[in-house]
Structure 1
Amino acid sequence: MTAFLGAIGAKLADRWVTALLGPGLLFLGAVALAARLGQTHALSARRLAHWLDALAAQPAARSTGAVLVAAAGVLIGSAAAGLAATAAGNAVRRLWNLPGRRLPWSLLRAWRRRRWFAADEAVKAAAREYDAAPHSAARHAAPHSAARHAVAARRATDRRDAVCLVEPDRPTWIADRLRAAAERVRTTYGFGLDSAWPHLWSLASEPLRADVAAAQDAYERAALLFGWSLLYLVLAPWWWPALLIAAVTAATAWTKARTAADTVAVLVETTVDLHLRDLADRLGLAAGEPVTARTGALIAARLAKHRPLDA
């Protein structure tokens, strides 16, 4: 048990250093540059070199106690910055998943819905064109025309799905992607993930659970990275390169968050597809029957502690 707790402690320490302490030291370096160089001389290597030389010439630089105190101050400052970035990242995650019923999020939600419905109309138009193309023998005589209509329909569908896989109802792509997974499960199997997910998770294989956990961790790390971008944004009024750092960091974090959210959604649907039959068997429902919406309804009723629907 001691060895196990020691290993856990070592992993937590490594993760703390990687996620908070290292980025915190970089941020403190940016704060120091902002304080010494300012906006006018933001990239002046000469001023930076003079300042470092002056620090090295200070008597305190040759004092072990002063160096230790300074090092402790740097570590405390970097830890404080890491905690601030973590708090900002948690707030960002909540913002990414807001329902979008109030301003300004309702405007983003309405904009996304307009984009999706416009793309959906394009899908329907492409489908009509494909259906109106020559059929049977005439279509075989003009295969290139049929293929062109099929490609157009596929591209129109891809453009619509790039907005959302189902009709959007959230202000952000991430929130709608996670919601789409639950909606697709509800449409296919007739039950909600809220009540069934803990049971499905307990039946999932270890490799699948590890993949889901890794994707969730990647999503959280992306939100933390976005939190760091907000800290650099706060620094920008005193040091303009911080604005560039904030922009690049935020764009990277958003891209990583989208990728992680998509992976989480795919893996959640995979877990349902692979283990819904196992859950039905464990609950003694619809034995030997194919997995259908009726199976999902029976599972939902059992998990809600209602009377099964087969009577």
Structure 2
Amino acid sequence: MWEAAGAKLAERWAAVSVPALVFWLAGLLAWTRSRGGFHALKVPADWLAKQSVPAQITIVLIALLGVSASGVIIERLTTPVLRLLEGWYWPCFLKPLRHKLVERRKTKVEERLRRYQELSPAVAAGTASPEERTEHGSLTMLQRRSPSPAPDMPTRIGNTLRAAETRPVDKYGLDVVSVWPHLWLLLPDTARKEIATARVSLDASVAACIWGVLFVLFAPLTLWAVPAGLGVAVVGVVAWVPSRAEVYADLLEAGFDLYRRTLYEQLRWPTPCNPREERAQGQELTRYLVRGSDSTTPAWGSDR
């Protein structure tokens, strides 16, 4: 038991503290650069060497605790920062920009949909050129990243995650926010592990953006901290976070696609017989989970 607990604790510490340790080591590098090179480390190293062994151990532990604490703080900030990257909770003065970005994305989606409809007959008939089939496939993937009925978030990240939340409603009548906690408890360990890993990866990419922005604070020590920090933040926002959000969104939707029947069975709710009935049943099930019901239907038999 202690070995398992120790392994989990070490794994957790590494996940939180390693990025923080990299950040502070980079900050130390910036400090040494501002002092003329690595020989600047000789003074604090000599001072530490003169301390007693207990004092040295205490100083090292305090430094490690400080690194871990900064990692925990950044970890707590990942969710609100992700909300900002999605397009939620923008300040009031950015509302005009948010509205403009949403309208721009709606226009792009409409153009893609028209082009998709133009290419679909030829692709279905097998007469499309290789270039047209490639374009049709790309448009299909782009449509998957757009929430229904139209984009309502100003960023690519926000629309990707919103699409994963709205698609189960469109297909099955199941509201993700209301149903997901119940479905999560019914997922097999393999599925939960994959989804949890994807979420951790998404949060780690958001944390990298935060660390990059914070690294700019070392600019008084060395000016290269500005391009380095902003470069990491920009790459994170443009590439890392969107790509990992897509993986997480796909797995979230797959959870509903594959295991929603288990939800019906565990709640003793009648299993839908066709897609149209399933959408209506899903809406009823969502309302039941949110508000409860005093209706006499559906009837739960003793064998269910």
Bin of the TM-score, shorter chain as denominator length: 0.7 to 0.9
What is the correspondence of 1:125-136 to structure 2 with a 5 Å cutoff? Answer: 125=115, 127-128=117-118
Aligned-pair CA distance for 1:36: 4.6
Q: Taking structure 1 as reference, are residues 28 and 198 closer, same or farther at Cα in structure 2, changes over 3 Å only?
A: closer
Among candidates 289, 292, 303, match of residue 305 of structure 1: 292
- Secondary structure of the 1:238 match is coil
1:297–1:309 contact (8 Å) kept in structure 2: no
Aligned-pair CA distance for 1:211: 0.9
Q: Please state if 1:24 is matched with 2:20.
A: yes
1:281 matched residue in structure 2:
265
2:198–2:248 contact (8 Å) kept in structure 1: yes
Aligned-pair CA distance for 1:153: 4.4
Partner deviation per Cα, 1:185-229 (whole Å, 9 max, x = no partner): 111112312222122122211111111111111122222222211
Structure with higher Rg: it is 1
Among candidates 251, 258, 262, match of residue 267 of structure 1: 251
Percent identity over the alignment?
Answer: 25
2:279 matched residue in structure 1:
293
Q: Taking structure 1 as reference, are residues 60 and 203 closer, same or farther at Cα in structure 2, changes over 3 Å only?
A: closer
Aligned-pair CA distance for 1:248: 3.7
Paired residues, what number?
291
2:229 matched residue in structure 1:
246
One-letter amino acid of the counterpart of residue 167, structure 2: R
2:32–2:41 contact (8 Å) kept in structure 1: no
Aligned-pair CA distance for 1:178: 1.5
Q: Taking structure 1 as reference, are residues 72 and 180 closer, same or farther at Cα in structure 2, changes over 3 Å only?
A: same
One-letter amino acid of the counterpart of residue 251, structure 2: L
One-letter amino acid of the counterpart of residue 92, structure 1: V
C-alpha distance in structure 2 between counterparts of 1:288 and 1:123, whole Å: 31
Q: Taking structure 1 as reference, are residues 144 and 32 closer, same or farther at Cα in structure 2, changes over 3 Å only?
A: closer
C-alpha distance in structure 2 between counterparts of 1:301 and 1:63, whole Å: 66
2:214 matched residue in structure 1:
231
2:197 matched residue in structure 1:
214
Please, what is the CA RMSD of the aligned residues?
3.6
| TM-score, normalised relative to structure 1 | 0.75
C-alpha distance in structure 2 between counterparts of 1:269 and 1:144, whole Å: 30
C-alpha distance in structure 1 between counterparts of 2:283 and 2:212, whole Å: 45
2:269–2:298 contact (8 Å) kept in structure 1: no
What is the correspondence of 1:113-262 to structure 2 with a 5 Å cutoff? Answer: 113-125=103-115, 127-128=117-118, 143=127, 151-158=134-141, 164-166=146-148, 167-254=150-237, 255-262=239-246
- Secondary structure of the 1:239 match is coil
Among candidates 2, 8, 11, match of residue 11 of structure 1: 8
2:302 matched residue in structure 1:
none
Aligned-pair CA distance for 1:8: 2.7
In structure 1, the gaps of 5 or more residues are 42-46, 134-138
Aligned-pair CA distance for 1:28: 3.2
In structure 2, the gaps of 5 or more residues are 300-304
C-alpha distance in structure 1 between counterparts of 2:86 and 2:297, whole Å: 34
